[in-house]
Amino acid sequence: MASSSLFQSLPFSLQTSKPYAPPKPAAHFVVRAQSPLTQNNNSSSKHRRPADENIRDEARRINAPHDHHLFSAKYVPFNADSSSSSSTESYSLDEIVYRSQSGGLLDVQHDMDALKRFDGEYWRNLFDSRVGKTTWPYGSGVWSKKEWVLPEIHDDDIVSAFEGNSNLFWAERFGKQFLGMNDLWVKHCGISHTGSFKDLGMTVLVSQVNRLRKMNRPVVGVGCASTGDTSAALSAYCASAAIPSIVFLPANKISLAQLVQPIANGAFVLSIDTDFDGCMQLIREVTAELPIYLANSLNSLRLEGQKTAAIEILQQFDWQVPDWVIVPGGNLGNIYAFYKGFKMCQELGLVDKIPRLVCAQAANADPLYLYFKSGWKEFKPVKSSTTFASAIQIGDPVSIDRAVHALKSCDGIVEEATEEELMDATAQADSTGMFICPHTGVALTALFKLRNSGVIKATDRTVVVSTAHGLKFTQSKIDYHSKDIKDMACRYANPPMQVKADFGSVMDVLKTYLQSKAH
């Protein structure tokens, strides 16, 4: 139905480069900011869709086909200094390609001129109008930004669990009690369908695979190497689209909760006697030989979804820019994704600056930290050792170049956390009502260090990105609270008390407890 198209309802043509003159505010919101679907939702005479129509059918009926061709994106070689690049190498997103001709990384480049024909206010209003709906596919926090993510995919090909839109938690007590801060926030990306931020990228990647398979491209299955979260997301999204998934896991190096996820979702699970870097090497070799599509963040499609978490943070602050965003880093795709999300918002006029980024690593797997400390002189992969932050136990990150570009471009910082520091920070956060994963503990340790050194000020608005759900990492919490960790004081342990099953004994321990709590 062409007349209900968002873009047809706009009072200017995309074919012209004439600057757009905003209409009056009331008309602006009604005419320009709404998607075809929200126009239906907001109408006072809105109709429920017919009982025999599902939300995909509804989207098919309402969304005009040409909406998919207004914006476009392609793969280009990732080049930190893109302004001076004269490369003409590029690939359609429908090609199966992970590396540039020179063997370097790729990046998804959007047609920024087409996107710039709409002003920042337009995009802010459009994104805001889609939050919290069940309309397909915009109810997802990722697909609510579809024009900036994978503009050309048909809504019908999208595989989504309505991911994103995760809560931005005001860490009131933690901020005040431990850091003297009152504007500290935790972006809970792990409160998500499979319990980590990987869902944001995987909905994009698996949707594209779904499209490729419908185009009869040679993709029999999708594979990844994983420290637990990528494999969980991959297997869930593939299962929902009936696509075979294959996961390479380092034997005995991921949590039980993570291991059971791909098993339950029907993935082909290979437990391999090596570390993550070894699994990554193997999956790269295998995907070069077999019709298995690579789902790790080496594949730049993933980062297009992950960058929406940055846009969401701005949106949740009503498009005000925080001073700092702290992200735990392993394979280093996510730190770049955050940078890219913020940068696009700046370039397209939604905000006028970007935050400073901090990448936080476990000291037992800290190649980026060592590189940063050397003044970016020479990058050397490390042999990582065991860490409670097991999902970031990565010594040879594939996105090192992306991360360095992101950090240099925003005056960023790299910090690290020892095992004791990250476990203490996790326990401290939990004691104030959170239930975070050890990777978030790494990010909080970075915050402690930067507050103590005065780099982050008490009044700075700071966001810590929580990357996975704490329930995936209960064993480390049990060990900590049982004081069962060698060479660790476990200063914030809160072990349960064994009490005899009689009234007097229970009363005694309760009285002692209440006295200790009385003001």
Ligand X SMILES: N[C@@H](CCOP(=O)(O)O)C(=O)O
Ligand Y SMILES: Cc1ncc(COP(=O)(O)O)c(C=O)c1O
**Where does this chain bind ligand Y (CB under 6 A)?**
196, 227, 229, 297, 328-335, 391-392, 437, 439, 467-468
Give 301 or 437: the residue with its C-beta nearer to ligand Y: 437
Cis check for the bond before 36: say yes or no (omega within 30 of 0): no
**Binder of residue 226, out of ligand Y, ligand X, none (CB less than 5 to 8 A by kind):** ligand X
Taking CB under 6 A as the rule, does residue 466 contact ligand X? no
Distance CA 305, CA 132 (A): 18
Report if residue 228 touches ligand X, rule: CB under 6 A. yes
Contact 247, 235 (CB under 8 A): yes
The entry of ligand X, ligand Y, none near residue 296 (CB within 5 to 8 angstroms by kind) is ligand X
Residue 445's contacts (CB-CB under 8 Å, 6 or more residues apart) are 360, 415, 416, 417, 418, 421, 422, 425
Q: Which of residues 365-404 bind ligand X (CB under 6 A)?
A: 391
CA 401 centroid distance within chain: 19
* Least CB distance to ligand X at residue 224 (A): 6
Structure tokens at 149: 């993510």
Query: Using CB under 6 A, which residues numbered 64 to 93 contact ligand X?
Result: none
Strand arrangement of the beta sheet that strand 73-77 belongs to: 91-92, 73-77, 106-110
Of 6 and 389, which CB lies nearer to ligand Y in the complex structure? 389
Smallest gap from Cβ 335 to ligand X, in A, equals: 11
Interacting positions 297-336 with ligand X (CB under 6 A)? 297, 330-331, 333
Helix ranges (DSSP H) in 6-110: 25-27, 36-42, 55-62
Min dist CB 9 to ligand X, Å, is 38
Pick the closer one to ligand Y by CB: 350 or 391: 391
The amino acid that residue 462 corresponds to is: T
Does 100 contact ligand X by CB under 6 A?
A: no
Q: Considering CB under 6 A, how many residues would be counted as binding ligand X?
A: 13
With CB under 5 to 8 Å by kind, the binding choice for 328 among ligand Y, ligand X, none is: ligand Y
Closer to ligand Y by CB, 137 or 250: give it.
250
Q: Rounded to the nearest 5°, which phi and psi values hold at 162?
A: 55, 45
Whole-angstrom CA distances from 303 to 197, 333, 417, 442 are: 11, 7, 25, 22
Q: Which stretch binds ligand X (CB under 6 A): 38-46, 226-234, 267-275, 480-488?
A: 226-234
Decide whether 131 or 257 has the Cβ nearer to ligand Y.
257
Tokens 């419908």 -> residue: 214
For residues 495 and 427, the answer to whether their CB atoms sit within 8 Å is: no
Q: Which is nearer to ligand Y, 157 or 199 (CB)?
A: 199
CA distance linking residue 444 with residue 389, whole number of Å: 13
Question: Between residues 158 and 464, which has the closer beta carbon with respect to ligand Y?
Answer: 464
Indicate the residue among 301 and 354 with the shorter CB distance to ligand X. 301
227 makes contact with ligand X (CB under 6 A): yes
Give dist(CA 66, CA 63) in Å, integer. Answer: 9
Nearest alpha-carbon partner for 476 in 418, 423, 403? 423
Q: Closest Cα partner for 381 from 390, 369, 391?
A: 369
Nearest distance in Å: CB 405, ligand Y: 14
- Interface residue with ligand X among 35, 165, 210, 226 (CB under 6 A) is 226
Q: Provide the minimum distance between the beta carbon of 211 and ligand X in the complex, in angstroms, as a whole number.
A: 20
* Residue 250, binding choice from ligand X, ligand Y, none, Cβ under 5 to 8 Å by partner class: none
Nearer to ligand X, 63 or 231 (CB): 231
Q: Which residues of 269-307 are buried (b: 16+ CB within 10 A; e: fewer)?
A: bbebebbbbebbebbbebbeeeebbbbbbbbbbbbbbbb
Q: Which is nearer to ligand X, 112 or 256 (CB)?
A: 256
CB-CB contact of 109 with 73 (8 Å) = yes
Contact flag: residue 296 with ligand X (CB under 6 A): yes
Least distance from ligand Y to the Cβ atom of residue 453, Å: 23
Please tell me whether residue 265 binds ligand X under the rule CB under 6 A. Answer: no
Q: Which residues bind ligand X (CB under 6 A)?
A: 224, 226-231, 296-297, 330-331, 333, 391
